[in-house]
Chains A and B, each alone.
Chain A
Amino acid sequence: MLEVNVDRCIGCGECEEVCSFGAIAVEQDVAVVDYDSCTLCGTCVDTCPEDALTLERSDEVRDATDLDTWRGVWVVAEQRDGKVATVTYELLGKARGLADDLRVPLTAILMGHEIGDKAVDIASHGADRVLVVDHPAFAAFTDEVFGNTLVYLARQERPEIILAGATSMGRSFIPRVATVLETGLTADCTELSIRKDDRALLQTRPAFGGNLLATIVCPDHRPQMATVRPHVFKARPATENPTAEIINVNIPEGLLKSRVRVVESVQELVEGPGLTEAEVIVTAGRGMEDKKNIALVKELAELMGAGVGASRAATDAGWLPERAQIGQTGVTVSPKLYIGCGVSGAIQHIVGIQGSEIIVAINKDPDAPLFDLATYGIVGDVKVILPLLIKRIKKERGIP
Chain B
Amino acid sequence: MNIVVCIKQVPDARTVKFDQEKGTLVREGVESVINPFDYNAIEAALELRDAFGGQVSAVTMGPPQAQEAIREALSLGVDKGVVVSDRAFAGSDTLATTYTLAKAIEKLGAPDIVICGKQAIDGDTGQVGPGLAVRLGIPYVTCVNEMEILKGRNVLRLKRMCEQGYDIVEVETPLLMTVLATLNTPRVPSLKNKMRARKADIPLWDVSAIGAEPGRTGLAGSPTQVVSTSVPTFDAKKEMLEGEPEEQVDALVTRLKEAGVI
Contacts and interface: CB of A to CB of B under 8 A. Distances in A.
Nearest to A355: B232
Contacts of B98: 179
Contacts, number: 254
Contact of B261 (A211, A337, A354): A337
B16 A208 contact: yes
Contacts of B188: none
Contacts of B252: 360, 376, 378, 389
B226 A216 contact: yes
B199 interface: no
Given A169-B162, A274-B163, A358-B256, A264 B168 contact: yes
The B interface, classified by DSSP as helix, strand, loop or mixed, is mixed
Contact of A328 (B36, B127, B231): B36
Counting chain A CB atoms within 10 Å of each CB, the highest count among B11, B130, B166, B239 belongs to: B130
B208 interface: no
A358 B261 contact: yes
A253 B127 CA distance: 27
Contacts of B251: 376
Contacts of A275: 163
Given A337-B256, A376-B239, A212 B25 contact: yes
A262 B175 CA distance: 15
A389 B241 CA distance: 13
Contact of B240 (A265, A279, A377): A377
B126 interface: yes
B130 A176 contact: yes
Interface string B163-184: 1111111111001000001100
B13 A209 contact: yes
A298 B182 CA distance: 23
Contacts of B222: 184
B231 A213 contact: yes
25 contacts: A80-B164, A143-B139, A179-B131, A180-B134, A184-B222, A185-B127, A208-B11, A208-B124, A212-B24, A215-B229, A258-B139, A259-B171, A259-B172, A259-B175, A260-B175, A266-B166, A277-B163, A322-B182, A359-B236, A374-B236, A376-B241, A376-B252, A377-B241, A378-B240, A385-B248
Given A262-B168, A358-B256, A385-B249, 14 more contacts: A140-B167, A168-B163, A176-B134, A187-B126, A212-B231, A215-B226, A216-B226, A218-B225, A264-B168, A360-B256, A373-B234, A377-B240, A378-B248, A393-B253
Which 5 pairs between the two chains have the least Cβ-Cβ distance? A184-B223, A184-B224, A259-B139, A175-B130, A268-B165
